[in-house]
């Protein structure tokens, strides 16, 4: 299992070589099932709720 918060098109920015990145992605997804999750992650939602609670306490 491989997870990332970046779309495949931006993996080259992290790995610093677009050609090697494209080859790696090609091999990863050849027989894979790619799942794209949308919406807030649990951590993002929890952080936003914590910040909102902190802001309410300041008022």
**pLDDT tens-digit readout, 7-29:** 999 999 999 899 999 999 999 99
Please report the pLDDT score of residue 20 as a whole number: 94
HEC per residue, 45-59: HHHHHHHHHHHHHHC
Please report the pLDDT score of residue 5 as a whole number: 84
Please write the tens of the pLDDT for every residue from 31-46.
Answer: 999 988 888 888 888 9
Once rounded to an integer, what is the mean pLDDT over residues 45-52?
A: 91
Please report the pLDDT score of residue 50 as a whole number: 92
Element (H, E) at 21: helix 18-29
CA distance 40 to 10: 20
Q: Which of 40, 33, 34, 50 is nearest to 58 (CA)?
A: 50
């Amino acid at each position: 299992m491989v997870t990332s918060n970046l779309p495949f098109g931006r993996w080259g920015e992290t790995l610093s070589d677009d050609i090697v990145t494209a080859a790696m992605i090609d091999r990863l997804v050849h027989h894979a099932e790619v799942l794209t999750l949308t919406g807030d992650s649990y951590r993002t939602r929890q952080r936003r709720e914590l910040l909102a609670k902190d802001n309410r306490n300041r008022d």
